[in-house]
């Protein structure tokens, strides 16, 4: 019989927390969940509002002899996070196992990986690929939403290249260009990738390129361009969006269509991070020259603008579709992640299409994700169970609950369960970039 | 992933978010933006296999969520599945398959 149950539970919590930490999450929203009073803890379905300051622009070049400084009142972007997932995994260990401690120890990493990868699936799908929160009509202040910026690499025939260090360099430049306060930024690949990258080591499932020890990460933070070691990096097709399937016909049987007009959008999509909310986001309205009805398009698809048999001029995430007028709104980015204007797109050469994209990886700052957790209520005295709620500041202050109980006299078993209550929401679309690859 | 419709605009939605979006008024099929003006009592029965969400929503007690459930469950061989649903059962005389 293993006698150090508390130690096992704490180890399990540490492992789960580490897995979440490696996901690149942070828990700014979860600060109050550290309260030990369960009445003040978060419940499933709770919502948390976080706010972050908008861009303030350049500081004034003040001449104190001439005029006083004009101070601007701060404005905020509000991020509403719902705790709508409670990931849990566990295992039974039987008291008549001769090597009880071995069974428990062998299962710890599996449990932590399972919780972590389930979390990742939600993270990728809901933080990066869910554009359903973008309003279907009216003006949009785009701020706390999935990313728009992207980088890609195509060969001379217009076919996406496999993942290379070029993607990483471009994505890092993209993130670096965002005018946001310096945080412990890092790029993190979240999805499968094919090809050689980072340290030119073949990777099958997005493994780390440059291994950084966890202890080192805690002490120094992860440097830009470094990648974190992963365990069990595995997105299932069923619960997340990884790549993208092509749209074979946009209405008249062809996959790409000429665009009759590229028009700068100044009335629909605005930069939600700019005080006043009147600065256009940089979206371009494409008038697709399809014969008949425009079909097959959906918000959230990644469209390609460019010649059929040559390198693309731009890619962009579709933000709105007007079937009646054959309009599609997107923010176009070139291969280096630079935002293009309508004038930089050519109606004579840049055709519109939604191609197959095998892999859509992400690079993002760590604060892109927020989640909150809470401790579990202790079981009633004499119930035969124990609960440890382990909050680990080094791992983003996640609270992982480990419960042992449900003692079954007939089977002589004890169930071990790890759970984490969480939600995720992108807090700033500029802090992430897609990397499109084959 | 799934394709849902937000005010008739197709949107790619991760599977884990689908229930949330449906509860927020997204639909699994395009909705006729003009509400059904035809009263079922006078113009015949509504075919649950072919009707639009708007036709169902026009019936008292059936909201977007129930209409989505009906459309998601197609095809139907009979109206028996609706007998136990308090939202739909009162309208069975006006429904057909």
Chain A interface disruption, residue of B3, B4, B5, B16, most A CBs within 10 A: B16
Whether residue A298 is predicted with pLDDT greater than 90 in this model: the reply is yes
Report the distance separating Cα A422 and Cα A223, nearest Å: 26
pLDDT at position A401 is 67
Q: What is the CA radius of gyration of chain A?
A: 24
User: Chain centroid to CA A234: how far?
Assistant: 15
Give the one of A136, A240, A298 whose C-beta lies nearest to B7's C-beta. A136
Judged by CB atoms closer than 8 Å, whether chains meet at A136 and B15 is answered as: no
**pLDDT top residue among B37 and A311:** A311
**Do A176 and A306 contact (CB within 8 A), yes or no?**
no
**pLDDT top residue among A209 and A46:** A46
Whether residue B26 is predicted with pLDDT greater than 80 in this model: the reply is yes
pLDDT at position A22 is 58
Q: Is B24 exposed, middle or buried (0-12, 13-18, 19+ CB in 10 A)?
A: middle
Judged by CB atoms closer than 8 Å, whether chains meet at B6 and A136 is answered as: yes
**Do A255 and A296 contact (CB within 8 A), yes or no?**
no
Q: What percent of chain A has pLDDT over 70?
A: 63
The pLDDT of A364-388, averaged and rounded, is 62
User: Per mean pLDDT, which range of A226-240, A372-386, B1-15 is the poorest?
Assistant: A226-240
Using one digit for the tens of pLDDT, what is the confidence trace for A402-412? Answer: 666 666 666 66
- The answer to whether B39 faces chain A, any CB pair under 8 Å, is no
DSSP-based three-state secondary structure for A377: coil
Q: Residue A354 — φ and ψ, nearest 5°?
A: -115, 100
Q: How confident is the model at residue A251 (pLDDT cuts 50, 70, 90)?
A: confident
DSSP-based three-state secondary structure for B48: coil
The pLDDT of A13-21, averaged and rounded, is 67
Whether residue A27 is predicted with pLDDT greater than 60 in this model: the reply is no
Using one digit for the tens of pLDDT, what is the confidence trace for A58-85? Answer: 778 888 888 888 777 778 888 777 777 8
**pLDDT top residue among A395 and A72:** A72
Tell me the average pLDDT of chain A.
Answer: 72
- The answer to whether A297 faces chain B, any CB pair under 8 Å, is yes
- The answer to whether B23 faces chain A, any CB pair under 8 Å, is no
Number of neighbouring beta carbons within 10 Å of residue A306: 24
Residues of B in contact with A247 (CB under 8 A): none
A190 φψ region: left (φ > 0), alpha (ψ -120 to 50), beta (else): beta
- For residue A271, the cross-strand partners are A142
Report the distance separating Cα B87 and Cα B62, nearest Å: 6
The pLDDT of A341-366, averaged and rounded, is 87
Whether residue B20 is predicted with pLDDT greater than 80 in this model: the reply is yes
Residues of A in contact with B7 (CB under 8 A): 136-137
The pLDDT of A154-179, averaged and rounded, is 80
Report the distance separating Cα B87 and Cα B61, nearest Å: 6
CA distances from A107 to A97, A100, A181, A242, A354 (A): 14, 11, 41, 29, 44
pLDDT at position A88 is 78
Q: What percent of chain A has pLDDT over 90?
A: 26
Residues of A in contact with B17 (CB under 8 A): 125-126, 130, 132
Whether residue A5 is predicted with pLDDT greater than 80 in this model: the reply is no
Report the distance separating Cα A235 and Cα A2, nearest Å: 35
Q: Are strands B46-47 and A413-422 parallel, antiparallel or unpaired?
A: unpaired
pLDDT at position A101 is 72
User: Per mean pLDDT, which range of A49-53, A148-152, A408-412 is the poorest?
Assistant: A408-412
Judged by CB atoms closer than 8 Å, whether chains meet at A132 and B26 is answered as: yes
**pLDDT top residue among A43 and A154:** A154
Q: What is the CA radius of gyration of chain B?
A: 13
The pLDDT of A269-289, averaged and rounded, is 90
pLDDT at position A76 is 80
Give the residue from chain B lying closest to A302, CA to CA: B12
| Closest listed residue to residue A26, CA positions, set A364, A435, A430 | A364
pLDDT at position A233 is 33
DSSP-based three-state secondary structure for A304: strand
Report the distance separating Cα A31 and Cα A125, nearest Å: 25
pLDDT at position A270 is 94
User: Chain centroid to CA A373: how far?
Assistant: 18
**pLDDT top residue among B91 and A9:** B91
pLDDT at position A281 is 94
- The answer to whether A136 faces chain B, any CB pair under 8 Å, is yes
User: Per mean pLDDT, which range of A18-32, A91-105, B82-96 is the poorest?
Assistant: A18-32
Whether residue B13 is predicted with pLDDT greater than 80 in this model: the reply is yes
| Complex-level ipTM beyond the 0.90 threshold | no
Whether residue A8 is predicted with pLDDT greater than 50 in this model: the reply is yes
User: Per mean pLDDT, which range of A1-5, A276-280, A322-326, A340-344 is the poorest?
Assistant: A1-5
The pLDDT of A376-390, averaged and rounded, is 67
Whether residue A264 is predicted with pLDDT greater than 70 in this model: the reply is yes
The strand order across the sheet containing A302-306 reads: A256-257, A351-353, A302-306, A314-322, A327-330, A284-288, A259-264
Judged by CB atoms closer than 8 Å, whether chains meet at B10 and A297 is answered as: yes
Whether residue B65 is predicted with pLDDT greater than 80 in this model: the reply is yes
Chain A interface disruption, residue of B2, B4, B11, most A CBs within 10 A: B11
User: Per mean pLDDT, which range of A98-112, A375-389, B7-21, B48-62 is the poorest?
Assistant: A375-389
Chain A interface disruption, residue of B3, B8, B9, most A CBs within 10 A: B9
Whether residue B88 is predicted with pLDDT greater than 70 in this model: the reply is yes
| Closest listed residue to residue A135, CA positions, set A246, A290, A299 | A299
Give the contacts of A426 (CB within 8 A, at least 6 positions apart): A127, A128, A144, A145, A146, A147, A368, A369, A432
The pLDDT of B68-77, averaged and rounded, is 84
Where are any strands of DSSP class E within A196-313?
Answer: 196-197, 201-202, 256-257, 259-264, 269-271, 284-288, 302-306
- The answer to whether A251 faces chain B, any CB pair under 8 Å, is no
**Do A93 and A57 contact (CB within 8 A), yes or no?**
no
């Amino acid at each position: 019989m293993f006698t150090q149950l508390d130690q096992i539970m704490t180890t399990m919590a540490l492992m789960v927390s580490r897995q979440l930490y490696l996901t690149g999450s942070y828990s700014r929203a979860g600060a109050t969940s550290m309260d030990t009073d369960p009445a003040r803890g978060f419940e499933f379905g709770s919502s948390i509002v976080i706010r972050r300051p908008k861009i303030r622009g350049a500081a004034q070049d003040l001449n104190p002899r001439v005029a006083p400084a004009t101070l601007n009142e701060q404005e905020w972007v509000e991020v509403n996070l719902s705790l709508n997932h409670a990931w849990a995994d566990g295992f039974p260990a039987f008291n008549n196992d001769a090597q009880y401690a071995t069974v428990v120890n062998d299962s710890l990493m599996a449990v932590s990986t399972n919780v972590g990868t389930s979390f990742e699936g939600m993270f990728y799908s809901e933080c990066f690929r869910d554009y359903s929160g973008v309003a279907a009509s009216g003006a949009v202040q785009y701020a706390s939403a999935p990313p728009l910026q992207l980088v890609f690499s195509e060969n001379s025939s217009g076919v996406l290249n496999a993942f290379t260090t070029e993607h990483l360099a471009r994505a890092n430049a993209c993130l670096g260009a965002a005018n946001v306060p310096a945080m412990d930024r890092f790029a993190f690949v979240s999805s499968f990738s094919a090809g050689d990258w980072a340290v030119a080591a073949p990777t099958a499932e997005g493994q780390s390129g440059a291994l950084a020890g966890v202890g080192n990460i805690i002490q120094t933070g992860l440097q830009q361009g470094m990648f974190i070691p992963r365990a069990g990096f595995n997105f299932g097709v069923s619960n997340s969006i990884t790549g993208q399937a092509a749209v074979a016909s946009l209405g008249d049987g062809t996959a790409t269509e000429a665009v009759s007009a590229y028009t700068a959008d100044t009335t629909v999509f605005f930069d939600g991070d700019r005080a006043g909310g009147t600065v256009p986001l940089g979206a371009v309205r494409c008038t697709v020259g399809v014969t008949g009805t425009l079909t097959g398009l959906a918000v959230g698809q990644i469209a390609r603008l460019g010649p059929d048999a040559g390198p693309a001029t731009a890619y962009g995430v579709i933000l709105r579709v007007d079937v009646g007028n054959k309009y599609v709104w997107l923010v176009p980015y070139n291969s280096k992640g630079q935002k293009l204007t309508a004038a930089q797109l050519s109606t004579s050469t840049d055709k519109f299409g939604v191609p197959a994209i095998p892999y859509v990886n992400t690079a993002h700052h760590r604060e892109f994700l927020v989640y909150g957790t809470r401790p579990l209520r202790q079981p009633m005295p004499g119930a035969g169970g124990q609960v440890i709620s382990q909050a680990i500041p080094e791992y983003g202050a996640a609270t992982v609950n480990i419960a042992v109980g449900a003692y079954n006299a007939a089977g002589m078993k004890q169930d071990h369960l790890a759970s984490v209550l969480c939600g995720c929401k992108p807090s700033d679309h500029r802090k992430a970039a897609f990397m499109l690859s084959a | 992933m799934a394709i849902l419709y937000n005010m008739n605009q197709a949107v790619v939605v991760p599977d884990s978010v689908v229930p949330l979006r449906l509860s927020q008024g997204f639909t699994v099929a395009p909705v006729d933006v003009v509400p059904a003006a035809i009263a079922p009592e006078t113009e015949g029965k509504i075919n649950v296999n072919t009707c639009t969400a708007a036709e169902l929503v026009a019936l008292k007690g059936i909201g977007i969520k129930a209409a989505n459930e009906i459309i998601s469950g197609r095809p139907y061989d009979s109206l028996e599945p609706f007998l136990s649903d308090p939202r739909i059962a009162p309208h069975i005389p006006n429904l057909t398959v």
